[in-house]
Structure 1
Amino acid sequence: MASPRRPVEVTPLRIGALARESGVKLSTLRFYERRKLLLPMDRSESGQRLYGPEAAIRVRFIRRSQELGFTLKEVSAVLALTDRRGTPTRDVARFAEAKVQAIDARIDDLRRMRRAIITLMAEGFCPPDTVCPIQASLGAPAPQAKRKPRA
């Protein structure tokens, strides 16, 4: 007869240990806490924040998402989706699709900027005693991005 399994005890991480494990500063963790992106699971008797083992994964997710261009508001929305039990994958997929569309729009903007700068450079850049075409071009109203009609 097998012996009953005892639950595995998890040693909570203090904020300093979490900072070291996740590669961020203490101030970053406190900032995430103020933004409700990361919450301690408890506090010690002396009032120190205590985090569960999943906290380091969450912090690395937040940092990596920021590196990929997600805003903290977007990260918060994704975390809210994934924190809910039973969140359909399609909800996260819709969020990702919207981000891809925003990235594509930004790429289009960057390509237009690149073409404009190359054209301006070919025109002689900024001849002396004239209005610099780069300044004139950058001061002009931006072209509106074409929007896809909603289905």
Structure 2
Amino acid sequence: MNISEVAKKTGLSSKAIRFYEEKGLVTPPLRGENGYRHYAATQLEELTLLRQARQVGFTLEECRELVVLFHDEHRHSAEVKQRTLQKVAEIEVHIRDLQAMRDRLAALAQACPGDDSADCPIINDLAGCCRGAGHRG
């Protein structure tokens, strides 16, 4: 398969495929006499794994580790599960942080009159202790 075919099958752009190759996340494809890459099923599986792992939040380094595990015939599913549960825990922390940000912004928006006055509780709050009352500049 050429890079265009692989891009269609994996849902990745040609640029992303080349990026993953440059980072060493994909087994280097064979090259024809014309210099074009020729991809096999192995690269297709690696690239699909990378795309899907990135979609659920794994970092590039974590993806590298998953590709290594993908090729390890002696891997233990317990290790993959542990990495996945760790990612779930990280995502849960991120969700809590985002919810706190949302709640703060909603409270600020609620406190703001949203009229023609210069007084803005949102700006005052975000500026914190460093701005005096009525200071504009």
Tell me if both proteins adopt one fold, taking TM over 0.5 as the criterion. yes
Distance 1:135 1:38, change over 3 A: farther
Deviations along 1:22-60, whole A, 9 cap, x unmatched? 233222211110011112342223332222113223222
Instruction: Report the Cα distance in structure 2 between the residues aligned to 1:16 and 1:54, rounded to whole angstroms.
Output: 16
Distance 2:66 2:76 in 1: 12
* Paired residues, number: 127
Deviation at 1:97, TM superposition (A): 1.3
Q: C-alpha root-mean-square deviation of aligned residues, in Å?
A: 2.3
Which residue matches 1:102?
A: 90
Aligned partners of 1:93 and 1:139: how far apart in 2?
A: 44
Distance, in Å, in 2 between the alignment partners of 1:136 and 1:83 is 55
TM-score (norm 1): 0.70
Match of 1:77 in 2: 65
Unaligned runs of 5+ in 2: 129-137
Counterpart in the other structure of 2:79: 91
In the TM superposition, residue 138 of structure 1 has moved relative to its aligned partner by 4.5
Listed as ranges, the matches of 1:31-46 within 5 Å are: 31-46=19-34
- Give the 3 Å change call, closer, same or farther, for CA 60–138 of structure 1 in structure 2: farther
Which residue in the other structure is 1:52 paired with?
40
Cα 1:20/1:129, change in 2 over 3 Å: closer
1:40 partner SS = coil
- Relative distance call for 1:134 and 1:85 in structure 2 (3 A) is farther
